Structure 1
Amino acid sequence: MGKFSRLLEKALKKSVADAASQASRPSPVRTNQNAFQPAPVTYPTRYVPSLRSIERRWRIVDGDAENSVKAAACSYFQDLLSQVIADTVIVRVVEQKDAKLPDDWTYINDSEVALVDDNGVAISLFNRRDLEFVGCEVGEYVACAVLRGPYHGDNCKFLSVLMSDFAAEHQDEISERKRMSRLMGMDMPLGLDYAEVNIDGVEWQLDHHPDRKLHTGSTRWLPVPKGSKAKPHIVLSLDGVDAREITGRNMCYGAFAAHVGEQPVACVSLQRESLASNSSIYYKIMVAYK
């Protein structure tokens, strides 16, 4: 029995040792029950627009900088513009395709150009038709006022492109050039004189036409009857046809009288609907002179 007792005692000690060893090990955990460990994230350095600040005085008029045109307050650019500290900065005007925009940028509109910093990163968009009004072209640098204003209920920053000295001094002429270019359907030079007159549809001497038509225009004086003190009448001819006789009582008389006999740069007629209840038509004649 002594030998059996020793074997039993040895087996018991081994069992106790194995149990202690098993207790010191971590319990196995199923793979799908492991605690989520987020992967380390490296946040990119926040981009700060590289802009040159300048000293240029401007004052606020009706919520905007005087002698300026607002750039688009696109929400995407707010993160960049919020970091601009200066009151006035220099940006470059480029085509959208030449600006650095987000990889997923889809708003490509030929009617708008991009305003970029020194690294070519777009920080705003600007309406192309306002380029001449502020006195710049694509590829040039312009000064912009940095302003704050409401945007979707929040206080945001936006750029307002400041006019060049020439543009600021010739706002009326530039506005007139833009208006007449639109109405006449062609790019009209700056500094032209314009004379306009309306002709009722029932008095129209040429073939009727819709929309816009280009004509060969001319003017001449009518002789004044002997003894009359009235201003001489002016005859406006279109394509060789006498279309309208303009008297001194017409508001357009002075504009035509200043250029009687001169060759117009352009002459256009536009068909328009009358505001009268009978829905009649009339023709607006616009003549441009140097």
Structure 2
Amino acid sequence: MSVQIGREYWVILNDYDAIIEALVKQGEKFSGRPGNFVFELIKNNHGIITIDYGLTWKASHKFGLRTLRGFGAGKEGMEENVVEETYFLIENLTMAKDYSIQMKLTFTTLNIISRLVLGSRFEYDDKKLLHMIEIIQKFNEDSNHAHLLAVLTLEPILRFFPPFRNVVKITSDDTERFREYLRGFVEEHESNFDEHNIRDFVDAFLLKIKKSPEDDPAFNKLQLIQYILDLFDAGSLTTSSTLSWAILALAHFQECQDRIAEEIIETLGEDL
């Protein structure tokens, strides 16, 4: 069925056969992204999440998959990063800090991403880390700010009127501040870059920029900065929310906790 939302018509795929036909059998025809004021405000038509399907998206997607897998994503090497970061999480969980469990899990998941992308991690009280997470939360969580941004996706003309005008300014300022942090990390990598020693995703991307034409839309510094922002944005809160839900579910099902504990002890032993 179709329905008008704001000034646009949306097509709703509401049964299994229609979804398979569109997203699987004719997936390439339905792979595009619609133009959106909020996406343009936050993403600046760069990155990987919101850009339209085309040559730039294909090149960025292919590079990202190959590079992240090369640094351990989805492989045994990733397990080492997770295990090492878990020790920091456990230590932080036992400390009397004014952070929720989900927030502490967000520290952990963002740090695991950071290990792959930046080749380093943040301390859990790092001011840059806290501010970046605060910005991501503001855009994604169930808050008044996020609700107003959602309305702007449907009626962008409201950006000229309060309170939407103020939301646009805050969003623009926050996004630029986030980019400044990432720009600093990239410039630090540039200062000690060695094409014979590729340490992480940023180094790999810088090498790709060096080997690409100057006007390549997929491989340039702006695209790199936004790509990192997308990886942090897409991977941190989603994962920590899922883990928080799992912990909450286990709190309601003690027998499942017991089975998991027994399996861990049986497989790995008690001296962990």
TM-score, normalised via structure 2 length: 0.21
- Greater gyration radius: 1
Structure number having the greater helix percentage:
2
Q: Higher relative contact order at CA 8 Å, sep ≥6: structure 1 or structure 2?
A: 2
Higher strand share: 1
